[in-house]
Structure 1
Amino acid sequence: MHVVKARVFGQGECGKCGDDIPRIGFEFAFQPIVSFKAQSIFAHEALARGAQGESADSVLGQLTPENRYRFDQECRTRAIEQAAALGMPESLSINFIPNGVANPRACIQRTLRAAANCGFALSRLIFEVTESEKVADPEMLVRIFREYRKLGIKTAIDDFGAGYAGLNLLARFQPDIVKIDIDLIRDVDSNKTKQIIVENIVSLCSKLNIVPLAEGVETFDERDFLLGIGIDLMQGFLFARPAFKAMSPVDPIAWSTR
C-alpha cells in the first residue's frame, strides 16, 4: 500500500462539506475497463446511480453550488468503501468534480482515510475529470492533479474531445490516461473524419507519454480499428454493461478475433 503521512484537515477548515448540508441519496454501478492485449480487466469505473438504480442524471441533477463539495467527497469515499466490500482486485476509477474542490490538500483527506481504513492502495485509484464540465479555475485543477500524483493516485481526462478542457489542459498538465469521448468512437471504423481525429489523439498521447483509452466501444469493428491504431484500454457495452452495486464480468465473446 502507498503510505501517506499527511495532516488531517477538519471539515470546518474549508467550510464546504459540513454536516449541515443535506445529503444526496446515491449508489454506484461499476463498469469494467479492459486491456485487450492482456484480455483482463484493468479497472472498474464507479458510475453514480440513484438509490434504486436510477440514471446518473437523476443524481447529478440535484447538484447545487451548496452541495457539490459534499457530494464530491462522499462519491470518493463511498466508491472506495463499496469497491473494497466487493473485493475488487483491480484499480478503481472515480469521477470527481474539479469545481467541487476547495483546497487540494484538505479535500483529499477523507479519501486518504477511506483508502487506509479499507486497505485500498492509493496506486489503485484513478481520478477522472470530465472535459464536458467547464472548469472555473484551470490552475486549481492543475494543482489538484499534481497533488494527487504526489500521493501516487493516477489521473485521467474523461470525455476527451467533447468539451471545454481539451488541448489547453494538456498544455498545463499531462494526466496518466486520456479517455476518448464516445461520440468520436461511435462508428470510427467507417467514418474517415473520426479516424483522422482519433489517430491524431493517439499520436499526441504517445508523444506525451499518456495512455489512450476508448470509451463506449460497442462493436467488433470499432474494437478492431482501435486495436489497429494502438489503443489497448477500452470500455463499453461490447465488453460489459455497468452492474448496479456489483462488478460486471467481461463477455468472453468480446475477446474473440475474426
Structure 2
Amino acid sequence: MAFQPIIDLNAGGIWGYEALVRGTNGEGAGAVLSAVTESNRYKFDQACRVKAIGLAGRSLDRGSTSKLSINFMPNAVYEPTACIRASLAAARKSSFDPKRLMFEFTENEKVEDTDHLENIISSYRKMGFTTALDDFGAGYAGLGLLARFQPDLIKLDMELIRGIHQSEARRIIISGVVEIARALGITVLAEGVEDEGEVLALRGAGVALFQGYHFARPEIETFRSFQELSRLHIAA
C-alpha cells in the first residue's frame, strides 16, 4: 500500500492519509485493479483494508487524530456488519482507533444497487466511520448520488478542478458545489491538485482540504508529517 497525505490548510496540518493499492513490484493501482474479477473482488477488498489498517496502526502516532481513508468497492460488500469484521479485527490488533477510519466509494464503479449502497453508508455512519463520495463530478459520482445519499465528505475529481484558476466556468461550478455541500453539512476535499494556482482558486471557493502532487506524492508504506512536507517546500 502507498499513502498520500490529505492536507488541512486552515489548520496547517495533516487531516488524513489515503491508502492506495500498489503491486508487489511497484505496479500502479490500474494494473492491480485490472486483475480484480467477480470471483476475487470480495477477498481483494478485504485484504486491502486489513493491510492498510495494519500499516497505519504500526506507523502513525497513537495520539494522532488523522484519518485513514480506504477505498472500497460497493459491489464487493454483501452485508456491512459482516464485511467490517476483518477491518475492526485489524484495528484492534494494531491498536488503531476505528473511529479514525474513512471509507470512500465509487472510484468510477457503477453502483448496481443504490439501495444496497445506501444501506452500506448508513451502517458505516452508525458505526462511527466517516464516509466519502470519491471522484465527485466524474463518471457515476455526481449530483444524482449526492441527492440520494449525503456522505460526510465529497472529493472533487481532479478533472473538474484542473486549471480552475484559468477557467471562470470551473470556478463557478466549484463554488456552487461548495455552497451545496455547506448547506448539506458535507465537507469538500479537492484531490489531484498540482499547482499553487489551483490551490489559491480552490481556497477562494471555500475549500480547506487538499490532496495531490503539489503537496506530496503517494509513498509506499510511508506517512509523511506536515513538518516534513513543509521542510521539503511541498506544502502551500
Q: Contact 1:39/1:255 (CA < 8 Å) preserved in 2?
A: no
Q: Contact 2:134/2:157 (CA < 8 Å) preserved in 1?
A: yes
2:199 matched residue in structure 1:
223
Q: Contact 1:179/1:212 (CA < 8 Å) preserved in 2?
A: yes
**Residue 248 of structure 1: CA displacement?**
3.0
Q: Which letter maps to 1:60?
A: L
Q: Which letter maps to 2:53?
A: I
Q: Contact 2:133/2:153 (CA < 8 Å) preserved in 1?
A: yes
SS at match of 1:200: helix
1:245 matched residue in structure 2:
221
Q: Contact 1:241/1:248 (CA < 8 Å) preserved in 2?
A: no
1:65 matched residue in structure 2:
38
2:15 matched residue in structure 1:
42
Q: Which letter maps to 2:7?
A: V
**Residue 254 of structure 1: CA displacement?**
4.2
The partner residue of 2:5 within 15, 32, 39 is 32
Matches within 5 A, 1:123-162: 123-130=99-106, 132-162=108-138
2:49 matched residue in structure 1:
76
SS at match of 1:178: strand
Instruction: Verify: 1:198 aligned to 2:171, yes or no.
Output: no
Q: Which letter maps to 1:36?
A: L
**Residue 196 of structure 1: CA displacement?**
1.5
The partner residue of 1:236 within 209, 212, 235 is 212
Provide the C-alpha distance between the structure 1 equivalents of 2:142 and 2:29, rounded to a whole number of angstroms. 23
Which structure has the larger Rg over C-alpha atoms? Answer: 1
2:83 matched residue in structure 1:
107
**Residue 113 of structure 1: CA displacement?**
1.2
**Residue 199 of structure 1: CA displacement?**
1.1
Comparing both structures, which one devotes a greater share of its residues to helix? 2
Q: Which letter maps to 1:220?
A: E
The partner residue of 1:53 within 23, 26, 35 is 26
Provide the C-alpha distance between the structure 1 equivalents of 2:75 and 2:38, rounded to a whole number of angstroms. 9
Q: TM-score, normalised by structure 1?
A: 0.85
Deviations along 1:75-113, one digit per CA (max 9) or x if unpaired, are 111110011122253210000000001111211111111
Provide the C-alpha distance between the structure 2 equivalents of 1:244 and 1:110, rounded to a whole number of angstroms. 22
Q: Which letter maps to 1:116?
A: R
SS at match of 1:189: helix
Matches within 5 A, 1:205-220: 205-220=181-196
Can you give the 5+ residue segments of structure 1 that lack an aligned partner in the other structure?
1-27
Provide the C-alpha distance between the structure 1 equivalents of 2:173 and 2:115, rounded to a whole number of angstroms. 27
Q: Which letter maps to 1:222?
A: E
SS at match of 2:164: coil
Comparing 36-45 with 79-88, which one deviates more in the overlay? 79-88
**RMSD value over aligned CA atoms?**
1.3
Rate the CA distance shift 1:165–1:220 in 2: closer, same or farther, 3 A: closer
**Residue 34 of structure 1: CA displacement?**
0.4
**Residue 54 of structure 1: CA displacement?**
1.0
SS at match of 1:42: strand
Q: Percent identity?
A: 47
Q: Contact 2:135/2:141 (CA < 8 Å) preserved in 1?
A: no
